A and B are shown apart, each in its own frame.
Chain A
Amino acid sequence: MASLVPCPNCGRRPKEEFTIKGAALKRPAAGADASEWFDYVYLRDNPHGAYEEYWHHTSGCRRWLVLTRDTVTHEVAACRDAADGSRLEERT
């Protein structure tokens, strides 16, 4: 786990200020079929390497962030506001 999280709004802050929700997945479209929803709600990858997660800066700017973290080295490659920029990767 990273000791310091590079919040795009607040700078590097201690991890204790954050709450982790888990995998940053794209929410299926309203009419998507049941299996797609089932994957979204219940199935998680357990990758050896880069992983995108939702982190909430609960005791800071109160923004939801998408953090790219290496599950092996714990290095944080990127951290952006969840409302910003690139669309989440589609699960394949």
Chain B
Amino acid sequence: MSSYRLSKGGLVDRMAPLSFTFDGRSLQGFAGDTLASALLANGQMLVGRSFKYHRPRGILTAGAAEPNALVTVGRGGRTEPNTRATMQELYAGLEAQSQNRWPSLDFDVGALNGLLSPFLGAGFYYKTFMWPAPLWEKFYEPFIRKAAGLGKASYEADPDSYEKSWAHCDLLVIGAGPTGLAAALTAGRAGARVILVDEGSLPGGSLLFETATIDGEAAADFARDTSAELQSMPNVRMMMRTTAFGWYDGNVFGAVERVQKHVRDPAPHLPVERLWRIVARHALLATGAEERPLVFGGNDRPGVMMASAMRTYLNRYGVAPGQSTAIFTTNDSGYALARDLEAAGVDVVAIIDSRPSAGVGYRGKARVINEAAVCATRGRKAISAIEVRRDSRTEPIVVDALAMAGGFSPIIHLACHRGAKPVWSAEKAAFVAPAGLKGLEVAGGAAATTNLAACLGEGAVRAQAIIKELGLSCPPVALPKVEGDEDTHSARPLWSIPGVKGKAFVDFQNDVHLKDIGLAVREGYSHVELAKRYTTNGMATDQGKLSNVNAIGLIAKARGVSPGEVGTTTFRPFYTPVSFGALTGAHTGHHFQPVRKSPLHDWAKKHGAVFVETGLWYRSSWFPRSGEQNWRESVDREVLNIRKNAGICDVSMLGKIEISGSDAAEFLNRVYCNAFLKLPVGKARYGLMLREDGMIYDDGTTSRLAEDRFFMTTTTAYAAGVMNHLEFCAQALWPDLDVRLASITDQWAQMAIAGPKARQILQKIVDEDISDAAFPFLAAKEVSLFGGALHGCLFRISFSGELAYELAVPAGYGESVADALLEAGKDDGIMPYGVEALSVLRIEKGHVTHNEINGTVVPADLGFGKMVSATKPDFIGKAMLQREGLAAPDRPQLVGVVPLDPKQSFRSGSHILAKGVAATLENDEGYVTSSAYSPHIGSTIGLALVKSGPSRHGEEVVVWNGLRGESTPARLCNPVFFDPQNERLHV
């Protein structure tokens, strides 16, 4: 026989039937069902196969701890593997698939692993796959990877959106069971700002299956009325379907709200999940307790269920576990289940109680067998009988369902997320949260309180104390009267059962059984952390919610110590799995990596630019023209045209920082290694910024626009870093200097106009005289454009080695000014050029970028030794630059490199070797930092950092590229390949 829906009872809406599918089969449930209750109502007791042995598995729990009933829900990009059927609310059209079986759930080839089980015990990986070592990569690892894992993730993109939010409150109550509801009500009535979270869809927790009455009212009605009152309070926020998953520093709690995981078609204007960070002045952990399984043979067979889960399915969902049930209990909770089953017309054939005397007050029909234990179960894909052992005699009893009630373990995970260790209470027979936690209290079942009246009272009283401590007044609390409750205290946990037959599972999800724990202890892995790793007990998605305490009890027994001495493994967030979607929130795609477009982006696009991504920026690489076959043709044309006529290039993405204040010059003098104090107004200067360890950090030009105002440029990549660094210098190192910093990168469109005809073109739009006499090399000033229509900044600086200018105009005018320059230079042959041509021009001139400024070079390494001020009393990096090693003669230093045969080429990153030596680390002389084809030289040229490079010009070497197997004979040379006298700059 199997489970079925009762004709009446439960909180499901029998007027609202819902269709869903399981492994393609169409089934019916009701609104208010979980997938698990609906499957049971349809008699579907087999729902999955176990991880290692592929044993048939059913539904063990009715909540978050479920280790077995993991299914894949949804399809396409909404596929969600390893969904606990016990937590998934049923909706019309839900599609669920069982996992870890092939070809089908009923007939699973992997079940053959069960026959191999003698070889698959704890540590079998370490023992079996040790030898021969070469088989690891080709055989063992692929084999293990194929066998491992549960559900399969989708490769399709998730179509849904996710959100992150903050919330603040006086009191956060975690868990809306009896304790939490009583606490929230007390604090809410006192006017405190309360947030109440619960992972379920309905508030009430255990009240939803409780048959006791509260003030004469059914428990579920009490829950409904209490939550209605809470919902009416403006100072209380109830968050259902919300799991508090972690406790973090500053009393901040992480929680995930499943906003639309219970609907088939999520509304597009809402996220499917929302990640909360809740800042609580105080928190109350009212998470209740987890019932423990009992470790007997075949305790994993479908039809075996936790007693509290069976009671939940019966009372909350109106689902009976079978026709004839047995209950294996160590405490009085088993009798409450027996009474409820009998009231619903389900036969209870036996109550097997480990204690000598029966539970008090049981008047039912079931046969009570004291001082007995279930030692085995029978059946194939569902339980058909149990074997009961008493006084070393074994008796079979025919059943189709078995409940196990092994006592309760308080759910204290969150209380231990910040380093506190659980403590074993012999009196409570449970691990409890340590006393003295700051900002968090534990109450009710989570504090090992074992009856309903006490939980209600504890919730109210703790809340009262907390809000008084927070300085709020609290009206007196009236405690409700509870009738028909059962105390579930288990004085003596039953760790091991005599006469166990077959596999007795400790950890269902990881297929860890009794013998594995024994083996771990015998082989020396009895420390709880080692036992976990050796046996895998407590790993995977359920993190041992059901298994850990039993494993600890068994280890304690084997070692002859108390469970407290064994201790627990470390509790860490998350309490239950949190989706990557929720953790990512809205930070996906361009919200994660936004696109930065220069003010001249559309201008470049208009002129046909091909763009390249550099960091977040899109930079124009080259501007192809019709007839050009490849990018090199375009770049060569742009390069040659600049050296012959003129070109215009977008350099807006360079970092731009305005530095002002009466000490601005002194400030710059301290952050650059070269002198800036006496830079005249109207002049630009190339500056080198060092790190405090003496290495070059960044470079750029800085211009003095007024006595107390400077315009700094940085490299594109380091714009943000330089700004942070300057702020540090100004605020933390020298707060006494009068200096202010403003990032103005986005405010200015900046363009380079380079080439022998640059001046005559530019003069057409610049009102001031920019002849060489009036505006010489390194001049910098604010200029008037188009007869005073616009103002900008003009700098006579050159990266290309040509007569060149950089013009900055307000960002919004960038495109029209660039177009005006193209128009003005039409007859002079001006063309737009991109960063590829810019790169060729600068390599031809031996100008460095961050290819060369690689964090290991000092100014002298790049030929800037003479720039470093010897007279300034202090600048960033001055002291450490004096170190002897930084002046060593064999340091890698900048040098040029050309192939001996102009037809040959080499790439950046290739290494420099002396001729005729082996390519070994010892023989490495340096590497090529930049390379390009130079149309002027007619071959590839490169810059390289080579040991003693400057003294080796003319030496023949080999450029070696191990990745591509290339060896190119080459010659070291002066790194300035073009116009070494800089004559073209000064025309």
Contact = CB atoms under 8 A, between A and B. Distances in A.
Interface string A8-30: 00001010000101001001101
A84 B732 CA distance: 9
Given A30-B878, A37-B879, A41-B693, A64 B252 contact: no
B436 interface: no
Contacts of B727: 56, 62-64
B874 A30 contact: yes
B250 A4 contact: yes
B249 A83 contact: no
A30 to B, nearest CB: 4
Interface string B705-739: 00000000000000000001001100111010000
B728 A21 contact: yes
Interface in A18-71: 19, 21, 24, 27-28, 30-32, 34, 37-38, 40-42, 54, 56, 58, 62-64, 66
A19 B727 CA distance: 13
A83 B724 contact: no
B733 A37 contact: no
A85 to B, nearest CB: 10
Contacts of B883: 34
Contacts of A76: 250
Nearest to A83: B735
B277 A83 contact: no
Among A21, A37, A38, A40, residue most surrounded by chain B Cβ atoms (within 10 Å): A37
Interface string B844-886: 0000000000000000000000000000011000111011000
B880 A37 contact: yes
Interface residues of A, number: 34
B279 interface: yes
Given A3-B249, A4-B252, A83 B732 contact: yes
A77 interface: no
B101 to A, nearest CB: 42
Interface in B664-719: 692-693
Interface string B262-300: 000000000000000101000000000000000000000
B731 A81 contact: yes
A79 interface: no
Contacts of B731: 63-64, 81-83
B545 to A, nearest CB: 26
B248 interface: yes
Contacts of A84: 735
Interface in B101-131: none
A40 B880 CA distance: 10
A62 B731 CA distance: 10
A81 B252 CA distance: 24
Nearest to B875: A30
Contacts of B248: 3
Contacts of B874: 30
Contact of B724 (A30, A41, A56): A56
B136 interface: no
A78 interface: no
B143 interface: no
A83 B727 CA distance: 11
B279 A30 contact: no
B249 A2 contact: yes
Contacts of B252: 3-4
A33 to B, nearest CB: 9
Contacts of B878: 30
Given A3-B252, A4-B252, A64-B727, A27 B880 contact: no
B249 A1 contact: yes
A34 B885 CA distance: 13
Among B249, B277, B874, residue most surrounded by chain A Cβ atoms (within 10 Å): B249
A66 B882 CA distance: 30
A60 to B, nearest CB: 12
A59 B285 CA distance: 34
A82 B249 contact: no
A90 B107 CA distance: 74
B362 interface: no
A64 B874 CA distance: 22
A24 B248 CA distance: 25
Contacts of B882: 34
A84 B736 CA distance: 10
B250 A3 contact: yes
A76 B724 CA distance: 23
Contact of B880 (A41, A56, A64, A75): A41
A42 to B, nearest CB: 8
B786 interface: no
A58 B492 CA distance: 57
A64 B728 contact: yes
Contacts of B733: 27
A50 to B, nearest CB: 15
A64 B732 contact: yes
B250 A82 contact: no
Contacts of B692: 40-41
Contacts of A41: 692-693, 880
B728 A56 contact: yes
Among B248, B731, B883, residue most surrounded by chain A Cβ atoms (within 10 Å): B731
Interface string B548-576: 00000000000000000000000000000
A66 B735 CA distance: 13
Interface string B822-847: 00000000000000000000000000
A74 B249 CA distance: 7
A54 B250 contact: no
A63 to B, nearest CB: 6
A66 B731 CA distance: 11
B570 to A, nearest CB: 16
A2 B878 CA distance: 35
Contacts of B724: 19, 56, 58
A79 to B, nearest CB: 12
A63 B663 CA distance: 19
Contacts of B693: 41-42
Contacts of A66: 732
Contacts of B879: 28, 30, 32, 34, 37
B761 to A, nearest CB: 40
Among A3, A32, A40, residue most surrounded by chain B Cβ atoms (within 10 Å): A3
Contacts of B735: 82-84
B277 A82 contact: no
Contacts of B728: 21, 54, 56, 64, 82
B408 to A, nearest CB: 31
A46 B731 CA distance: 25
A18 to B, nearest CB: 11
Contacts of A63: 727, 731
Contact of A14 (B166, B873, B880): B166
Contacts of A38: 880
Nearest to A29: B874
Nearest to A58: B724
Nearest to A56: B724
A50 B883 CA distance: 33
A56 B726 CA distance: 12
A82 B873 contact: no
A37 B248 CA distance: 38
Contacts of A19: 724
Interface of A: 1-4, 12, 14, 19, 21, 24, 27-28, 30-32, 34, 37-38, 40-42, 54, 56, 58, 62-64, 66, 74-76, 81-84
29 contacts: A1-B249, A3-B248, A3-B249, A3-B252, A3-B277, A3-B279, A4-B250, A4-B252, A4-B279, A12-B279, A14-B166, A30-B873, A30-B874, A31-B873, A32-B879, A34-B883, A38-B880, A56-B727, A62-B727, A64-B727, A64-B728, A64-B732, A66-B732, A75-B249, A76-B250, A82-B731, A82-B732, A83-B732, A83-B735
Given A2-B249, A32-B879, 5 more contacts: A1-B249, A3-B252, A14-B277, A31-B873, A82-B731
Closest 9 CB pairs of A and B: A83-B735, A30-B874, A3-B252, A82-B732, A37-B879, A3-B250, A74-B249, A64-B731, A64-B732
